[in-house]
């Protein structure tokens, strides 16, 4: 399966890895493995300003801009959602705000995950990306 590069080499690598697996269970295992690697999110970031709206699970994501590069932290109370969040955190780590906001959500279809995700999880995945892009844009506009 081929897909248009997202603008993030790390994200493209993960999409390629997921797309090359025909077994939906293997994709889930990879997403769960990513979830386990995610650093814990301090309590101070667990409030509405960082909460992803439109997710059934509790999802928090926080972006910081350091020397022009984005750095992300986040957490979720649902393992699969946490894995999807981890995929986005790893994929958008170190990008500039302009690169992050330019990422086309079409990469989600290329992962093959949508076939295995419930509609609410697929929508949540997109909502996480949209919040990360909104934070990136907001961080870029701060002096």
Q: Does residue 55 carry a catalytic annotation?
A: yes
Distance CA 9, CA 30 (A): 18
Supply the DSSP symbol for 51.
B
Handedness of CA 141, 6, 108, 64 (dihedral sign): negative
Catalytic member of 31, 38, 55, 88: 55
Contact (Cβ atoms closer than 8 angstroms) between residue 69 and residue 96: yes
**Beta-strand (E) ranges in 1-143?**
59-66, 69-76
Please tell me the distance from the alpha carbon of residue 34 to that of residue 133, in angstroms, as a whole number. 20
Q: Which residues are marked as active site? A: 55
């Amino acid at each position: 399966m081929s897909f248009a590069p997202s603008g993030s080499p790390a994200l493209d690598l993960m999409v390629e890895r997921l797309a090359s697996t025909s077994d939906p269970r293997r994709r889930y295992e990879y997403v769960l493995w990513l979830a386990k690697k995610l650093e814990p999110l301090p309590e101070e970031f667990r409030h509405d300003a960082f909460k992803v709206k439109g997710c059934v699970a509790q999802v928090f994501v926080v972006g910081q801009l350091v020397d022009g590069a984005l750095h992300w932290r986040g957490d979720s109370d649902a393992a699969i959602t946490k894995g999807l969040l981890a995929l986005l955190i790893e994929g958008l780590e170190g990008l500039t705000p302009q690169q992050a906001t330019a990422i086309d959500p079409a990469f989600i279809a290329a992962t093959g995950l949508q076939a295995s995700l419930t509609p609410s999880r697929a929508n949540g995945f997109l909502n996480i990306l949209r919040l990360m892009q909104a934070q990136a844009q907001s961080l870029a506009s701060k002096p």
